């Protein structure tokens, strides 16, 4: 890569280390992907992916004691950044972490609760991108959370049709994911989830603050 690109990557790193998690940083990141040369674009994407993975892990460790709101803002930034560079695995890993964190805290902060549509969207993306082990785990959590609906638990007729439809579709996707995982080797299944759990806040001590 050219000296100019190296300087731009260095500048991006400095922005992240300065905790500049804003739209302007994402626009700068996006500008680095503008290239007329396919080969150089591939090289830049690879360098950006490596930079973002390294810096995101460092940042996540450093904010382990921060509030849930602060953590979610950081996760959202890196989800968008990984999406821009086309790193779907990292993007899904951090989306998963954000969803699980929100559900965990939703008992005391209802506004954090994950909607059925959000769970379905995540599961669909995980299956579409071939991360079936991740999809299976997400389905289990989603079905457990959605099954806590009072009307659903008591077999009432007031359960919204759209909720029933989402649960049915997530169940179908879970079965598809389970079948795919069962047909793969243990090593492949482990590799599928490796990055997911590498990112999780649950690996580090963290505050229960909201």
Condensed to tens digits (0 to 9), the pLDDT of residues 63-101 reads 988 999 999 999 999 999 999 999 998 999 899 999 989
Condensed to tens digits (0 to 9), the pLDDT of residues 5-60 reads 889 999 999 999 999 999 999 999 999 998 767 788 899 999 999 999 999 999 98
Q: Is residue 95 part of a domain?
A: yes
Q: Is residue 33 part of a domain?
A: yes
Give 154's pLDDT tier (boundaries 50, 70, 90): very low
Rounded average pLDDT over 144-150: 71
How remote is the C-alpha of 152 from its chain's centroid? 28
End-to-end CA distance of the chain: 43
Q: Is residue 209 part of a domain?
A: no
Give the C-alpha separation, 55 to 78, whole Å: 10
Could you give the C-alpha distances from 27 to 20, 42, 45, 81, 90, in angstroms and in order? 12, 19, 15, 10, 19
Condensed to tens digits (0 to 9), the pLDDT of residues 178-188 reads 998 887 765 55
The domain in which residue 141 lies consists of 3-203
Q: How many domains is the chain built from?
A: 1
Give the C-alpha separation, 100 to 82, whole Å: 19
Q: Is residue 28 part of a domain?
A: yes
């Amino acid at each position: 890569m050219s000296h100019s690109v190296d300087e731009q990557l260095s500048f991006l790193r400095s922005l992240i280390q300065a905790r500049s998690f804003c739209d302007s940083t994402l626009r700068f990141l996006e500008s680095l992907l503008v290239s007329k040369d396919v080969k150089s674009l591939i090289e830049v994407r690879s360098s950006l992916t490596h930079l973002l993975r390294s810096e995101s892990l460092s940042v996540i460790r450093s904010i382990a004691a921060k509030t849930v709101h602060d953590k979610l803002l950081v996760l959202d930034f890196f989800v968008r950044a990984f999406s821009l560079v086309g790193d779907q695995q990292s993007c899904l890993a951090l989306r998963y972490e954000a969803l699980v964190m929100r559900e965990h805290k939703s008992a005391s902060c209802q506004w954090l609760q994950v909607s059925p549509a959000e769970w379905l969207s995540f599961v669909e993306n995980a299956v579409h991108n071939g991360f079936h082990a991740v999809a299976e785990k997400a389905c289990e959590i989603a079905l457990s959370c959605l099954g806590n609906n009072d009307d659903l638990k008591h077999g009432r007729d007031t359960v919204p049709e759209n909720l029933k439809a989402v649960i049915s579709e997530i169940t179908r996707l879970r079965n598809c994911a389970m079948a795919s995982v069962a047909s793969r080797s243990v090593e492949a299944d482990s590799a599928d989830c490796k990055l997911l759990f590498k990112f999780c806040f649950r690996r580090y001590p963290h505050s229960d603050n909201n």
